[in-house]
Amino acid sequence: MQKKDLISIKDWTEEEIKHLFYTAAKIKGYQKTNLKFHPLEGKTLGMMFAKASTRTRVSFEVGMYQLGGYPLYLDIKANLQVARGESIEDTAKVLSGYLDGIMIRTYNHDDVVKLAEFGTIPVINGLTDLLHPCQVLTDIFTFMEYRGEAKGATVAFIGDGNNMAHSWLYGAARTGMNLNIVSPKDYQVNKEIYEDAKKIAKDNNCKLSLFEDPKEAVKNVDLIYTDVWASMGQEAEQKKRAKAFAGYKVDRDLLNRADKNALVMHCLPAHRGDEITSDVMDDRKHSAIFDEAENRLHLQKGILYLLMK
């Protein structure tokens, strides 16, 4: 398999995603047994950041180092001429002459698309306001570690119809998972993405549904997933959103309505007591949140290997 970019999960087939999961599992096994694996020796990943980051920066930086390569941190506002008006198109052409790959975490999704279009090296979407593919691929990979199979399982995503929800639509559709997106009326997913993902889901015999009632949506599901109510750039809306999402907290009552062995995940950072209670987040039987966070490293090493080897 030789893909050029990871912009959206939509762009990868089910077989390509399975191969990624197999690769990530192998690479994770190498690390856990202290086996050296340096397929990217001599290669450099440029990491472009317009947004603050804990998991994305550390996992990609450490992952690139562990694969034998060099991770170069590039603060878009402080380090690059993009902040002073240089076009993304020109930046893509210039960086393609210096680097072996680019990971970008930014606001505008079109910037990632243009980097890939005008550059000649692999481009990885580390997050935009529209999509967060690396996180959802990690989530499904983690679910499979716990349950063995994703196809046929049912997920309830509870919260804002944001970049996470959009990537879950494509991730579930591509891997055959049923997905219930649960959001207040004024905070639902992008309708074009929803309809687009439904076409993929139909071909893969799974179902994508929209709900407003969390209690109805979580009945017998295999995974409850949540995210912060106000994403980066939406802090001014915090109070308004807290009111709108007041009935969407993942607490013990909601968890008890799911399958008795249901998992709970959160992409982090979490606002404990808002979208999820601490007792659920720290529940040893149900919470996979911190295994999920660790797996960002292993899954992204799989992406780096497949795109940059």
Q: Which listed residue (5, 111, 222, 227) is catalytic?
A: 227
Can 227 be counted among the known catalytic residues?
A: yes
Peptide bond into 133 cis (omega under 30): no
Q: Beta partners for 209?
A: 180
| Phi-psi domain of 231 (left: phi exceeds 0; alpha: psi -120 through 50; beta: other) | beta
- Those residues whose C-beta lies under 8 Å from the C-beta of residue 82, and which sit 6 or more positions away, are 76, 88, 91
Q: Which listed residue (5, 57, 100, 105) is catalytic?
A: 105
Can 174 be counted among the known catalytic residues?
A: no
Can 267 be counted among the known catalytic residues?
A: yes
Q: Which listed residue (135, 139, 222, 286) is catalytic?
A: 135
**Contact of 180 with 164, CB cutoff 8 Å:** no
The helix (H) or strand (E) run that includes residue 70 is strand 70-75
Residue 169: CB atoms within 10 Å: 29
Can 132 be counted among the known catalytic residues?
A: yes
Residue 229 is which amino acid? W
Q: Which listed residue (57, 109, 132, 166) is catalytic?
A: 132
- Those residues whose C-beta lies under 8 Å from the C-beta of residue 136, and which sit 6 or more positions away, are 9, 164, 167, 168, 170, 171
Residue 231 is which amino acid? S
Can 188 be counted among the known catalytic residues?
A: no
- Those residues whose C-beta lies under 8 Å from the C-beta of residue 97, and which sit 6 or more positions away, are none
Crossing angle for the helix pair 163-175 and 133-147, to the nearest 10 degrees: 50
Angle among Cα 71, 72, 78 to the nearest 5 degrees reads 150
Distances (CA, A) of 248 to 3, 212, 268: 38, 9, 17
Can 135 be counted among the known catalytic residues?
A: yes
Q: Which listed residue (57, 66, 222, 267) is catalytic?
A: 267
Active site amino acids: 105, 132, 135, 227, 267, 296
